[in-house]
Structure 1
Amino acid sequence: MWEYEHSVETTASAETLWRHWVAIEQWPRWNAGIEKIEVDGPFAVGTVFTMTPPGEEPLRMRLTEVVPGRLFTDEMDAGDFVVRTVHALEPAAPGKTRVIYRTEISGAAADQVGPQIGPAITADFPDVVGALVRLAES
């Protein structure tokens, strides 16, 4: 398995951050790694969305876990490996929220593909989380 985690503390409330997460159609406004996104249902387990990174092919993903106000997990199943990203909110220092993005690549081919694609998938996490935090704090 391949793993990576990035977290940031913010003064934005978990409720405010959560509102930005559940508005999937709005992600391209604050996430430069998304050119286009299409959602096939509500923000709930089982909902599929298709995300197109700039200049790349669309990626079909599915919400596999949703704990309102706290976390959600999306998953891309590539057959012999699965890319799973957990987006979590935790209480931090008084008046602060910790925003966590954690990606795991598992499955039969994870040891081969993880070190190759994992860094590319997660390279923009600091920028994405930073943009989300700036939006939520404004």
Structure 2
Amino acid sequence: MKFQTAIDIDAAPATVWRALTDVESWPKWSASMTSVERLQQGELTVGSTARVTQPKLKAAVYTVTECEPGKSFVWEMKATGVKVRAIHLVEDRGEGHARMILGIEQTGALSGLISMLYGKLTRQYVTMEAEGLKKAAEAEAQTLESGTASD
């Protein structure tokens, strides 16, 4: 199964990136996450891991396998018969605007069965995450603008 969604965000790419890589805050803005626990401190980089708990799904540890700071990261998890690859990409749309692209790919011997059982839920969760990120980044952008305006 492959699924991708894109959403335009009225915030600078750097603001979107901060919200995106603060993975432990994801449950605050997306009901698709119960908890996200970083297993190391510091910046999100290749090799970073996080335990992700989502409603109706078993907790899983994701490992960052690709990272271009400020632009994108990919993290993956493996379970019996399936590998899940989640793509997070921030595009600069100019003039303080960004586009967030989220994608998920499931491969492996059991990926077809898992897609049948959980495909709809997975697509809902990815969409919820995109919408939640948009709200979080735009709220942060508003706060930054308000702070700047009052100086």
Asked whether the two chains share a fold, i.e. TM above 0.5, the reply is yes
- Higher-Rg structure is 2
Distance 1:54 1:110 in 2: 20
The separation in 2 between residues aligned to 1:15 and 1:94, in whole angstroms, is 12
**Identical-residue share of aligned pairs (%):** 26
Q: What TM-score do you get using the length of structure 2 for normalisation? A: 0.80
Distance in 1 separating the partners of 2:65 and 2:15: 22
Q: Which runs of 4+ in 1 moved over 4 A?
A: none
CA distance in structure 2 between the aligned counterparts of 1:118 and 1:64, rounded to whole angstroms:
23
- Per mean C-alpha deviation after superposition, the further-off stretch among 9-18 and 48-57 is 48-57
TM-score, length of structure 1 as denominator length: 0.87
Q: Deviations over 1:51-104 (max 9, x none)?
A: 112365322211111110111111110132211110101133654311101111
What is the match of residue 144 of structure 2? none
Counterpart for residue 71 of structure 1: 72
What 5-or-longer segments of structure 1 have no aligned partner?
Answer: none
Q: Which runs of 5+ in 2 are unaligned?
A: 140-151
Q: Compare the two structures and name the one with the higher helix fraction.
A: 2
Indicate conservation of the 8 Å contact 1:9/1:97, yes or no. Answer: yes
Query: Partner of 2:118: helix, strand, or coil?
Result: helix
- Give me the CA root mean square deviation: 1.9
Q: What is the DSSP-based 3-state SS (H/G/I as helix, E as strand, rest coil) of the residue aligned with 1:128?
A: helix
Shift of 1:116: 2.8
Distance in 1 between the 2:54 and 2:6 partners?
A: 22
